[in-house]
C-alpha cells in the first residue's frame, strides 16, 4: 500500500519483525509486512554497500571468532533495513518508529541510510514482539509525536 502520509511502526526482535502502518495516530494499525530473521536470505548488495567501522569486533573477538547468534542478528538488521529502504523509496511511508531490544535497535540504526534517519520519529528500546496489535497501539501511541 503506497501512502506517503502513513507512519510505519517496526516491532522487532532478533527472530522477526512486524511492520505496521497507520495514517491517523488514533486510528487503526494495519499489518503491512512480516520479515523473518532466520538468516536464510541474503540481502541484495547495493552500490553503496561498504564495511561499517562498527563491524570491528575488538579484543574479545581478536582471533576472528564469530558468535553465530550475533552474526545472524546483524544480518537480520541489515535485511530489515533494506526492507525499510525499499518502502521509503516507494513512498510507502513518511515517518518511521522503531521498537526493538537495545542490541537489535543499535544494529538496525547502524544499517539505516541517511534518508531514513531524519524520518525516524521515535525509538523504543523494548522487546514488544510478543504483544498483540491492540496492546502495541496502547503501549506505543504515547511515544509518537503529535
User: pTM here?
Assistant: 0.77
pLDDT of res. 5:
86
pLDDT of res. 40:
43
pLDDT of res. 96:
96
Q: How do strand 16-22 and strand 7-12 relate by DSSP bridges?
A: antiparallel
pLDDT of res. 58:
43
Residue 5 Ramachandran class (φ > 0 left, ψ -120 to 50 alpha, else beta): alpha
Digitized pLDDT (tens) for each residue of the chain, 146 residues in all: 456 789 999 999 988 999 999 998 888 999 999 999 764 433 333 333 333 334 444 444 444 555 677 788 889 999 999 999 999 999 999 999 999 999 999 999 999 999 999 999 999 999 999 999 999 999 998 888 76
SS3 for 7-60, per residue? Answer: EEEEEECCCEEEEEEECCCCCCCEEEEEEECCCCCCCCCCCCCCCCHHHCCCHH
Cα distances (Å, whole numbers) of residue 101 to 62, 88, 120, 122, 139 = 26, 23, 16, 14, 15
Count the alpha carbons within 13 Å of 72 in the hemisphere toward its beta carbon.
12
C-beta neighbour count of 22 within 10 angstroms: 21
pLDDT of res. 104:
94
Grid cell 516491532 is found at 11
Amino acid at each position: 500500500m503506497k501512502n506517503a502520509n502513513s507512519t510505519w511502526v517496526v516491532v522487532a526482535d532478533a527472530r522477526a519483525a512486524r511492520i505496521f502502518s497507520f495514517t491517523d495516530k488514533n486510528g487503526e494499525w494495519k499489518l503491512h509486512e512480516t520479515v523473518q530473521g532466520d538468516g536464510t536470505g541474503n540481502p541484495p548488495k547495493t552500490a553503496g554497500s561498504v564495511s561499517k567501522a562498527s563491524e570491528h569486533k575488538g579484543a574479545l573477538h581478536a582471533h576472528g571468532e564469530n558468535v553465530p547468534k550475533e552474526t545472524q542478528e546483524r544480518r537480520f538488521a541489515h535485511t530489515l533495513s533494506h526492507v525499510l529502504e525499499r518502502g521509503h523509496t516507494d513512498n510507502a511511508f513518511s515517518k518511521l518508529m522503531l521498537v526493538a531490544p537495545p542490541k537489535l535497535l543499535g544494529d538496525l540504526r547502524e544499517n539505516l541510510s541517511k534518508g531514513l534517519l531524519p524520518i525516524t520519529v521515535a525509538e523504543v528500546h523494548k522487546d514488544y514482539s510478543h504483544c498483540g496489535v491492540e496492546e502495541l497501539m496502547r503501549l506505543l501511541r504515547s511515544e509518537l509525536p503529535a
